[in-house]
Structure 1
Amino acid sequence: MQRGLGALLGLLWVQLCWVRGQQVEQSPSALRLQEGASSTLRCNSSTTIYRVQWSRQKPDGGLINLFYLASGTKQEGRLNATVDAKERYSTLHISSSQQEDSGTYLCAAGHSAPRGPAACPQTTAAPAATVSASGRTCMAVSD
């Protein structure tokens, strides 16, 4: 119960700290790969990026956090994420795709916090209304 409440409060905090006016766009919006193929997803921001989080939502609805990075490159197995703060983009490269890579990929970009009474860092997540909406990529891997 406590764990679920903590997660709910965390989501609520993110919602309260949502910033309007900054845009995050992700491409491509949909992708179908043959097993073993590689692809790169790109997340562009309208303002300088100070941190990026890449996540994958599995077909059953479960969310997996893949990377959280402020600069440079991180690699985990077949996944590689980069962020270029000055150029305002991040990439997620998936090499040798497998069926378990299928899902919806999401990126969220963090921006510098404003000076003043605001207590929340500014985080702009890409909208998640439809599969083709910017900020998410629906990827299917078939054999």
Structure 2
Amino acid sequence: MRARSLRGSLAALVAATALLAGGSQAVAAQPLSQAKTVSFHTLAPATVQDRVYLTTVIDQWTHYTPDSKTSSHAGTLYRGTSYFYCYTAGEVYTNNGRTSGWWLLTDDDTGHRNVYVNEVNLDDYGWEHDIDLLQHC
């Protein structure tokens, strides 16, 4: 894995710690009768509705799970600018002269929602910044 995966993990840990600290103070400051139960999901830094637009350089299959198996094939994401929701770890995949285990959640161009593509087919900017721009699924 590239060094940026560690950087992204550390940044996520710092952000989550700040959110937890801020969230607990906000709940503690309320009178007990008005206090809400705060769960981990309430404190997540973003929702799956947040979209980051990145560019892919080839048409590619999408998958229902973060792997390249034919059995998980969903549809097609055409090359060009598309939106992505988040990234997650999955099968290590090699294509386009790159290797990665990071898979990006998106909706494809053939009508399939919440499907994955590997980051190896992003343009140079996306390849370098996707983990910094997207939240972890």
TM-score (norm 1): 0.25
**Greater length-normalized contact order (CA 8 Å, ≥ 6 residues apart):** 1
TM-score normalized by the length of structure 2: 0.26
Larger radius of gyration: 2
Greater helix fraction, Structure 1 or Structure 2: 2
